[in-house]
Structure 1
Amino acid sequence: MPQPIRKLDQRSDGVDDDHLSLRDFQRIADLIGEEVGIKLPPAKRLMVEGRLRKRVRALGLRGLDAYSVHLFQRDGLAAELPHLIDAVTTNKTDFFREPEHFDLLEHRLVPALLDLRRGERQPLLKIWSAASSTGAEAYTLAMVLADLAAQRHDFRFAILGTDISNTVLRQGVRAVYPTELVAPVPPAKQQRYLMHARRPGTRPEVRIVPELRRLVRFAHLNLMDAAYPFDRDVDVIFLRNVLIYFEKADQERVIRRLIDHLRPGGYLILGHSESMIGTAVAMRQIAPSVFQKT
């Protein structure tokens, strides 16, 4: 009995024969490297294909070959580039990720910063989450600093979260998260800073309280830009687990630009897997992956 012929547009989500050619993958990898500094080695090809299939469906295209034509031959790149960047960038984030950094901030860094500014009344500490993703790091910082400010009564703080992805920035502004994502938040902080829906849906969610949301703002930033349009008297910058995706030369350029935004005595905090990256610049290392501007 003859088998039915499958039409070209009747693809399943995981169809095996829908792949990027090596040439098209390399063109996309080169583009992402130039635009945002992220390396996409050949080992990432299947991951990229899987993520781009969602864009193929969203655009109503027949497959990844048609998507490549749309990008590079039919002038679709300008409109599609933000979506392409969103699709291939990794937005791994957790509340209280690498918690020792927040302990260090609370018990050592903030007291040292306030000591440097002891002549000021209620100094404003500026903290920057430079790859904020959906905002978990920024709101973790806000929780830690809000508790500390309530204990000390001698400083104010403001937090900036930046990211290349507009999609995750919108989630940060909305500040709504699945309940399982906030599991690392200590119970006392959950009670103070999280709101639960009166009628939880099939997937329970929480929202950051408005008092904390007002202290955090989000903005778009490509770390590969030649200059960053933000204050140059920042006290602490977090840039964790991002530089590992960059080429060495780009790593150093990004770090140098960030250092220019720190006040003297300010701190740059990298991810634990990036601790050696920071040693390439003239800063004093005070703890693993934590550096101070002299």
Structure 2
Amino acid sequence: MDNIHQSFQIHRDPLKNKDHRRVADFIESTAGIPLPESKKTLIETRLRKRQRALQFDTLEDYLDFVLENPEGENEKVHFIDTLTTNKTDFYRESEHFDFIKNHIKSTYALKPKKIRIWSAGCSTGEEPYTLAMEMLELKESIPDLHFEICATDISTRCLAKATKAIYEHDRVLTMPLTIRRKYLLRSKNKENPRIQIAPEVRKFVTFSSFNFMSEDWARHEQSYDFILCRNVMIYFSNADRERLTQQFSYSLKSGGVMIVGHSESLIDPKSYFNRLKATVYQKGG
């Protein structure tokens, strides 16, 4: 009995301060996201799942494998995914989608063109699919409207889920009922009811991996009419947020619109944007 208890205690070793520091240093240098002391419990909880999955005796052993051992290179993808994945919902902060539709009606309806939207930090796809469904709704009143949505995230695991577009039933309850009836496919498995986004929605969304801190931004330059980067930059330092504000301004077309989450704001937006309303900014020109 004592041996079992001792084994369990070893398995549940707490995250040491030095290990927290090297995790935080790696994630900040790789993904630009600070993980302060206040996040220590969250880090331990999330990494414990990977430790168990790979059957390491201790968290320290797992971290040595990922951060010090060349054989752990492939695990780094899961490591980053585990610590950078954020919560999202369909129709989260829904007034942003209303703003986009109204802005298109007043600005683009009389001069039809293809609208390009970037969902930056798309997680598991709820935001870009919401955008696609709302644009399809708008297209009913503006038949000449054409659009495409670029959705990016640093997490390959999230992108894989987003591409499949399959969700648990309770995940779609934030959608209006009329939208659910039009754009969702339901599984026939009553024991595990799951939902898939319909192909006529999915075809408008393209997913790809993008790391704000290390990728080449040139492919996004002056490409978009709208950029949504919501509830993402709150995890970055002020210096990185200021740099991202500049990069996003370069990625917008003249007159394009940048939207951030309700809990955040751009750093030094006046150098690049005019503020239209809280969390909504427009590039000059």
Match of 1:143 among 123, 127, 133: 133
Relative to structure 1, the CA distance from residue 278 to residue 127 in structure 2 (aligned partners, 3 Å threshold; closer, same or farther) is farther
Query: 2:268, 2:118 → 1: CA distance?
Result: 17
Contact 1:126 1:234 survives alignment (8 Å): yes
Moved more, 177-186 or 271-280: 271-280
Query: 1:248, 1:135 → 2: CA distance?
Result: 27
One-letter amino acid of the counterpart of residue 106, structure 1: K
Query: 1:205 and 2:189 equivalent?
Result: no
One-letter amino acid of the counterpart of residue 8, structure 2: R
Structure 2 segments unaligned to the other structure (5+ residues): none
One-letter amino acid of the counterpart of residue 180, structure 1: D
Query: 2:235, 2:148 → 1: CA distance?
Result: 28
Q: How does 1:92-171 map to 2 (within 5 A)?
A: 92-107=87-102, 109-114=103-108, 118=111, 122-171=112-161
Residue 5 of structure 1 aligns to a residue whose secondary structure is: helix
Query: 1:20, 1:174 → 2: CA distance?
Result: 34
Structure 1 segments unaligned to the other structure (5+ residues): none
Query: 2:221, 2:198 → 1: CA distance?
Result: 26
Moved more, 71-80 or 244-253: 71-80
Q: CA deviation at 1:7?
A: 7.2
Taking every aligned residue pair, what percent have the same amino acid on both sides?
36
Runs of 4+ in 1 over 4 A off after TM superposition: none
Query: 2:238, 2:265 → 1: CA distance?
Result: 13
Query: 1:142, 1:163 → 2: CA distance?
Result: 17
1:22-78 CA deviation, whole Å, 9 max, x = no partner?
111101101100110111001111111111111111222111021122134333452
Query: 1:79 and 2:74 equivalent?
Result: yes
Counterpart in the other structure of 2:4: 6
Normalised by the length of structure 2, the TM-score is: 0.93
Q: CA deviation at 1:231?
A: 5.7
Aligned residue pair count: 283
Counterpart in the other structure of 1:23: 18
Counterpart in the other structure of 1:224: 213
One-letter amino acid of the counterpart of residue 215, structure 1: F
Q: CA deviation at 1:11?
A: 3.2
Query: 1:42 and 2:40 equivalent?
Result: no
| Cα RMSD after superposing both structures | 2.0
Counterpart in the other structure of 1:239: 229
Residue 78 of structure 2 aligns to a residue whose secondary structure is: helix
Contact 1:127 1:237 survives alignment (8 Å): yes
Query: 2:268, 2:134 → 1: CA distance?
Result: 25
Q: CA deviation at 1:278?
A: 6.0
Match of 2:175 among 168, 185, 203: 185
Contact 1:149 1:155 survives alignment (8 Å): yes
Counterpart in the other structure of 1:257: 247
Residue 264 of structure 1 aligns to a residue whose secondary structure is: strand
Query: 1:226, 1:165 → 2: CA distance?
Result: 14
Query: 2:70, 2:141 → 1: CA distance?
Result: 57
Q: CA deviation at 1:90?
A: 3.1
